[in-house]
Structure 1
Amino acid sequence: MTSAAPEPPSCTPPPPWQHCGHGATAADPVGCRGIHVGSHTACLAHLNEADRAAYLAALSPGSDLDHRATPFTSELLVQLLGALRDPSTGRPHIGDARFSEASFSRGADFAEASFSGDVQFDKAAFSGDTTFQDASFSGDAVFIRASFSGAAGFEEASFCGDAWFAGASFSGDACFGGASFSRKARFDQASFSGDAQFSAVSFSGDADFAKAAFSGDARFNDVSFSGDADFARAAFSRDAGFGQAAFSGEARFYEASFTGEAWFGGASFSGDAAGFSQATFSGDAWFREASFSGHALFIQASFCGDAAFGDVSFSGQIWFEGATFAGGARFEKTRFEAASHLGPLVCAAQVVLDAAVFQQPVTLEIAARQVSCARTQWASTATVHLRYAGLDLKDAILEYPVLVAARPTPFPQTRSADSLPETELSGLEPGVRLESLGGVDAAHLALHDVDLSGCRFAGAIHLDQLKVDGWCTFATAPTGWSWRFPWRWSRRSTLAEEHHWRVRAARLPERAAALGWSAPPQDAPALRPAAVAALYRQLRKSLEDGKNEPDAADFYYSECEMRRHDTTRPRGERVLLTAYWALSGYGLRAIRALAWLGAAMAVTVAMMMLWGLPADDAKPTITGRQVAVGQEVVLTTATPDPVNPTGPLTERLTTERFEKALRVVINSVIFRSSGQDLTTTGTYTEMTSRLAEPVLLGLAVLAVRGRVKR
């Protein structure tokens, strides 16, 4: 029978120190890698009982230890630390400690241990729960690529030298709550499979968590970072809490990924810069009440959930260039003390800047569904470029000129020749809609290419100084024939407030809304016609100053409409306005005036043909007498009075009489006398025509002038 082939020897190289070799086999010729204890040929774990007891008895508090690659059981570790316990403090006191590649099975308890020298736990393996609670490290502490299979507790631990946890692996929960790092702390590329607790930790030097991976919750609440804090490319798979954390140096979160919620509420960034460029926030991001004393960089950051920056203070420059928000972005009560630029950014939902304060001249570039600037304070000049957005400026405080303009093309990316992607807003109209100006002093506001069809102006002041430029559109009155009265609605520019009043004042509001008048929202105030007329009057002045005569004419029409429906005005004025409206649309409806003129002329022609022209033209007669003395002859010419026509009315409707009547009427329109003999009825008809018809002609000319005036 053929024997089995021997297993190949292990390819693991032996350690650089003299190692124990216990348990070496053909498959594993190295065996135990633990370093020899003193002059013995075995590691501490494999010493015989007598030699181990002698070694432990020779130790005293503060002794140096070298147990590299030694396998420790919990009982062996208790014996070792017991031999180093200081009687005066009751705490294990260790000098230099070298535990590189050591393994600790079934837990390792270093609680309250005092390490007065350098400590090396690099590549150490902690299989059970491990605690360094309240331990103190006077020198450097090296845990590079150490692995913690159970919970790792470093609560209240004190690191006076550098602390190195680079590449360490924490499979259970890791707790550093209350620990203090006096010098540099390095956790770069560390892996935390459980929760990582760093709350109330103090980092006096730099803290490096670059490329660290947090699979559980990461809590850095109330942490103090006195040096730079580097979380570049760190991955937070669950919630990450930095509430009330203090970053005194530079805070780097470049390309970090936050899969769960990210909490930075109350955090303070006092360093030169807080960098979140290209960071990804898959959950909600909370920065409420945080303060940024230096620059804040969110360039190309991606927020997949809601982002809250409420009550944040930005003392330096802030960059959101290329940032994208899949949810809402909230900046309520945020102070921008030195920001000169905000954006360009894209938000799929709403950007809230309510009660925010802009202290310096600033340019905002935002593409979003909604932008709310209620109670926003503009303490300096500002330019607001928007796309897709409905803008709310209710109760905003404008101390200096503010321009709101629609951006016709996508925003460019500052660091790229490409445009900022707007996939979250695809399918929407890119225009800008102003929704409310209530409570705003509009003297410093300029609008360019803004849709004002749904804007509520009630409550704003100095609307006569509002600057409306470019392609700004207002709401329009519904067109078509009225369902109640036999007249036709004509198209004109209106305000949303008139739409709301029309629906409220209608006997059948549903019918009015169906005709095209916009129904008022629940929070819209119920305005009286006099208040709406005041809005039209102020905005008409603004449009006239901007040389927008056609829209100004429409607003004059609408103002007269509101005055006509205002029951608080004298009845005589309302009757006069009603007549003015019926005859010529307040001097703005040429067709209406011409229709009345044509009707008046037709009536006048008919009156003249039927009763105004005499039956026959009067023929002058000459009478005379001869005086014998001196042979004098006296002749007298007399024209008989016109004779009223008689006979059937149809006989008076002749072509000859029509031509005469038309000549009389045309001369009356241009305020001239035709010279035609008329009956008494015709004379009074001509007098009336010479008064009324030129007025109607003048109203038609006035209406045309109102439409073509520039």
Structure 2
Amino acid sequence: MSTSQPPTWPHCAHGADPAADPVGCRGIHVPGHTACLAHLADADRDAYLAALTPGMRIDHRGTTFTESLLNALLNALRDPATGHPCLGVAVFGSATFEGGAVFRSATFIGDAVFRLATFKGNALFGSATFIGDARFGSATFEDIALFGSATFEGDARFGSATFEGVAGFESATFKGDALFESATFKRNALFESATFKGDAWFGSVTFEGVALFGSATFKREARFGLVAFEGDARFGWVAFEGDAWFGSVTFKGIAGFGSVTFEGVALFESATFKGDAGFGSATFEGDARFGSATFVEADQFGPLVCAGRVVLSGAAFGGPVTLSFAVRRLECRRTRWSSTAEIRLRYATVDFAHAVFEYPLTIAAEPDPFVFTDGQPLAEDLFPSAYDPGVRVASLRGVDAAHLVLADLDLSGCLFAGTVHLDQLRLEGACTFDTAPPAVHWRRWPPVRFTERRVLAEEHHWRAGQPGAVRGWNAAVLGAGRAGPLQLAPVYRALRKAFEDGKHEPGAADFYYGEMEMRRHADDIPRSERGLLTAYWALSGYGLRASRALAWLGTAMVLTIVLLMALGLAQDTPKQTATGTVPAGGGKVTFEIDKDDPQKPTGNRFTGERFEKALNITLNSVVFRSSGQDLTTTGTYIEMTSRLTEPVLLGLAVLAVRNRVKR
């Protein structure tokens, strides 16, 4: 309140000076008098105090209290039964307490109004009971303010209050709402073992010293939005039974949330952690949201347990950090890492879409529960014993994978389309992919059978969306988008190269198969090329299915044998003949040796002898050898065709075996 403006109540005006202080004393008139309690005549003051009884309403707005004057007032209101002051509605708005203000164990039956009050000495409210609202808005505590073990049955309003000394609320109980918006704690703020049964509002509060909330309990919402913790903030063993809001909070020192339990949603969106982010052994029964948070120097985050989601989308990590989470889902969309990082997980499904990192980053599954430095394992009671502790990746879209390492992850549902430098991705340990549907599937005629191979989730989605799709292909979930063969062929090609660089040739073969499948189904290739790819697929599975090539080879050989027996082998082996001519008048004889043309077979053509000859010719054809058998003209062409096709099929079978076993 401006000193040049008089208060709204009838005031004492003691010491007013038209030049220096036209208002004078601002204390409200004592009833029946024209002066405040501080400037009342001794006899009148004694009479006023003598008339007071415990539980009476008092109004001393703007009054200046010395320690002795305040003690006299409280003694007049002391309850003989308890020996402690008992006040009804107590109005001390804009009052000034020049000495110690001792309200220890006092009971305020009605509202306690200390709005705009100034406490120049110690303000001692330990074990006090506020049955009505406690209003300390914009109050100033120039020295120690102690509310330890106090009970606030109504609302506790400390909005815009200033605590220049230590503020102690240890073991205090707030049954109504606790409102500390825009308050300033210049030294330590002690809320250890406090109980907040109503909403706790700390919006825009500034903690310049250490803020201790150890073992506190928040039964309903706890809001710390826009708070600035200049020193350490320690919330160890706190229980937030409702939602906890720390949006836009700044932690300049240590943010100590070790062993804290969040039963509702924990929101740290846009928070800034300039020191360590201590969430070791923290338990989140709901979601933990750190969207757009900034971690400047945090080197450890966790290990923690979260039964819901840990949201790090839009967050930024400034230094090397290790994240250790046992969490159901981790969302890291557009998260930025400016240094090396390691993310170790259990039970999690990870969404890493459009994350940004310029240094090596590892995402790994932790096979065993996390262990603290003291050797104690992290409790995972929030997860049933039958729940799979493995880690699944949902998306890597938009990620530059040049520095990404994945270890022991389930990639069966991962979306890869749009990933940059996917060929430089490092896969370590047992990283698994989805597979093609097993067994034979009937789609009218003929039946469809897919051989086992590694398949991307996006191929599952594309095939499931095709007309007449067979059962077994997984349909796309909402938000997965849709990628076709044109988009998936480069993805398969890049993963193939990544497996080849890792000397994992069998895995690379599966991705080569997928690449060729996508090329065969793409709409932009010429019909002739599609036909060639189809033939390549049908004959040998793109040179990767030895059984298919061998089956065709066997079929070709049987067909060759049958044709040779039916049409190719001559009826009999032709005999050589010699014809002699004696010229007239001479003794010289010339013999011309000729051989009859092989005759077409007649009679029973499928005899054991003919089978043996046909088999010999066919086997020689497989290895490019001539059988030397006498064949009919048709048989000659059959042999030529056999010598062209069967060695190719044999070569494809050998190639397929080689692609599966080479290292």
Q: TM-score, with normalisation over the residues of structure 2?
A: 0.89
Matched residue, 2:205: 245
Look up the match of 1:221: 181
- The question of whether the paired residues in 2 share the 8 Å contact of 1:132 and 1:153 is answered with yes
| 1:257 match | 217
2:564, 2:472 → 1: CA distance?
45
Helix, strand or coil: the match of 1:347? strand
Range with greater deviation from structure 2 (118-127 or 393-402): 118-127
Work out the CA distance in 2 between the residues paired with 1:427 and 1:204.
54
The answer as to 2:237 corresponding to 1:274 is no
Pick from 142, 159, 163 the counterpart of residue 203 of structure 1.
Answer: 163
- Cα offsets for 1:311-336 (capped at 9, x unmatched): 00000111100000011000010000
Q: Which residue of 2 aligns with 1:161?
A: 121
| Bigger-Rg structure (1/2) | 1
Counterparts of 1:581 and 1:181, CA distance in 2: 83
For 1:658, the equivalent position in structure 2 comes to 611
Amino acid corresponding to residue 524 of structure 1 in structure 2: A
Paired AA for residue 93 in structure 2 = Q
Residue identity opposite 1:135 in structure 2 = A
CA RMSD of aligned residues (A): 2.6
8 Å contact 1:173–1:195 — kept in the other structure?
Answer: yes
2:386 is equivalent to residue 427 of structure 1: yes
> In structure 1, how many angstroms separate the alpha carbons of the residues matched to 2:586 and 2:101?
158
Which residue of 2 is the match for residue 133 of structure 1? 93
Q: 2:106 aligns with which of 133, 143, 146?
A: 146
Which residue is equivalent to 1:350? 309
> For residue 80 of structure 2, what is the aligned residue in structure 1?
none
Residue 250 of structure 1 aligns with an amino acid whose one-letter code is V
Q: Distance in 1 between matches of 2:34 and 2:151?
A: 28
Partner residue in 2 for 1:233? 193
* 2:327 partner SS: strand
Residues 105 and 488 of structure 1: CA distance in aligned 2, closer, same or farther (over 3 Å): closer
Question: Which residue does 1:104 correspond to in 2?
Answer: 54
Q: Distance in 2 between matches of 1:694 and 1:532?
A: 33
> Contact (CA 8 Å) 1:369, 1:425: kept in 2 or not?
no
User: In 2, distance between residues paired with 1:353 and 1:554?
Assistant: 34
Whether the 8 Å CA contact 1:77–1:108 is kept in 2: the answer is: no
CA contact (8 A) 1:107 1:126 kept: no
Residue deviations 1:628-677 (CA, integer Å, cap 9, x gap)? 99998866654332222123xxx110000001100110111111112111
Q: CA deviation at 1:591?
A: 1.1
How far 1:425 sits from its partner (Å)? 5.0
User: 1:488: which partner in 2?
Assistant: 449
Alpha-carbon distance in 2 for matches of 1:519, 1:687: 49
1:543 maps to 2:492: no
- Contact 1:190–1:212 (CA<8 Å) still a contact in 2? yes
Matched, 1:455 2:414: yes
Aligned to 1:67: none
Q: Determine the structure 1 residue equivalent to 2:540.
A: 584
* Structure 1 contact 583–592 (Cα < 8 Å) conserved: yes
Given that 2:303 and 2:323 are in contact with CA atoms closer than 8 Å, whether structure 1 keeps it comes out as yes
1:387 is aligned, of 346, 349, 353, to 346
> Structure 1 residue 86: deviation in Å?
3.6
Residue deviations 1:31-86, cap 9 Å, x none?
A: xxxxxxxxxxxxxxxxxxxxxxxxxxxxxx99xxxxxxxxxxxxx98579957454
1:82-93 to 2 correspondences below 5 Å? 82=35, 84-86=37-39
Task: Structure 1: give runs of 5+ residues left out of the alignment.
Answer: 1-60, 63-75
Measured in 2, the distance between the counterparts of 1:254 and 1:279 equals 6
Q: Is 1:368–1:425's contact at 8 Å kept on the other side of the alignment?
A: no
Q: Deviation at 1:612?
A: 0.9
CA distance in structure 1 between the aligned counterparts of 2:105 and 2:478, rounded to whole angstroms: 63
- Residue 36 of structure 2 contacts residue 60 of structure 2 at CA under 8 Å; is this kept in 1? no
1:191 and 1:214 in contact (8 A); partners too: yes
Aligned amino acid, residue 282 of structure 1 = E
Structure 1 letter corresponding to 2:460: H
Alignment match of 2:65 (pick from 95, 115, 133): 115
CA displacement 1:470-520 (0-9 Å, x = unmatched): 11111211122242333421111111111122122x224xx53xx111112
- For 2:524, the aligned partner's letter is T
Aligned to 2:24: none
Name the amino acid aligned to 2:241.
S
1:54 is matched with none
1:521 corresponds to which letter in structure 2?
Answer: V
> What is the distance in 1 between the residues matched to 2:34 and 2:153?
29
Q: 1:402 aligns with which of 361, 376, 382?
A: 361
Residues 291 and 144 (structure 1 numbering): CA distance in 2 closer, same or farther, change over 3 Å? same
| C-alpha distance 350-430 of structure 1, shift in aligned 2 (>3 A) | same
Alpha carbons 1:348, 1:425 under 8 Å: kept = no
CA distance in 2, matches of 1:436, 1:426: 27
Q: What is the CA distance between 1:556 and its match in structure 2?
A: 1.0
User: SS of 2:283's equivalent?
Assistant: strand
User: In 1, distance between residues paired with 2:164 and 2:85?
Assistant: 28
1:700 has 2:653 as partner:
yes
Measure how far apart 1:161 and its partner are: 1.2
CA contact (8 A) 2:37 2:63 kept: no
Q: Deviations over 1:563-588 (max 9, x none)?
A: 11112111111110011011111111
Taking structure 1 as the reference length, the TM-score comes to: 0.83
The 1:478/1:402 distance shift into structure 2, 3 A limit, reads: same
Deviates more, 1:352-361 or 1:469-478: 469-478
Shift of 1:615: 0.7
SS in 2 for 1:580: helix
Q: Tell me whether 618-627 or 277-286 shows the greater mean CA deviation.
A: 618-627
User: Using a 3 Å threshold, how does the CA distance of structure 1 residues 346 and 419 change in structure 2: closer, same or farther?
Assistant: closer
Match of 1:12 in 2: none
Deviation at 1:171, TM superposition (A): 1.9
In structure 1, the residue matched to 2:598 is 642
3-state SS of paired residue (1:342)? strand
Deviation digits for residues 526-570 of structure 1 (CA, Å, limit 9, x no counterpart):
333211111111111111111222221111111111111112111
* Cα deviation digits, residues 208-252 of structure 1 (max 9, x gap): 111111111111111100000010111111111111110000000
Tell me by how many angstroms 1:440 deviates: 1.2
Count of residues in correspondence between the two structures: 619
Q: Distance in 2 between matches of 1:416 and 1:188?
A: 36
Q: Secondary structure at the match of 1:450?
A: coil
Deviations 1:579-635 (A, max 9, x none): 101111111111111111011000100111111111112233455678999998866
Looking at structure 1, the residues matched to 365 and 399 of structure 2 have their Cα atoms a distance apart, in angstroms, of 20
Q: Structure 2: which 5+ runs fail to align?
A: 1-13, 16-28, 76-82
1:670 is aligned, of 597, 607, 623, to 623
Secondary structure, aligned partner of 1:652: coil
* Residue 420 (structure 1) shift: 2.4
1:412 offset after TM fit, Å?
1.8
Is contact 2:84–2:107 with CA below 8 Å preserved after alignment? Answer: yes
Shift of 1:438: 1.4
Q: Structure 1 counterpart of 2:461, which letter?
A: H
CA distance in 1, matches of 2:123, 2:307: 43
Q: Is the Cα–Cα contact under 8 Å of residues 137 and 161 in structure 1 kept in the other structure?
A: yes
- Between the aligned partners of 1:632 and 1:278, the Cα distance in structure 2 is 126
Q: For the residues of structure 1 that align with 2:238 and 2:64, how far apart are their CA atoms?
A: 40
Distance 1:470 1:416, change over 3 A: closer
Q: Which letter maps to 1:688? A: T
- Preserved contact between residue 263 and residue 284 of structure 2 (Cα < 8 Å): yes
Aligned to 2:513, the other structure's residue is in SS state: helix
Partner amino acid, structure 1, of 2:63: A
Q: Describe the shift of the 1:577–1:344 C-alpha distance in structure 2 as closer, same or farther (beyond 3 A).
A: same
Cross-structure match for 1:179: 139
Cross-structure match for 1:565: 521
Distance 1:185 1:85 in 2: 23
Conservation of the 8 A alpha-carbon contact between 2:37 and 2:60: no
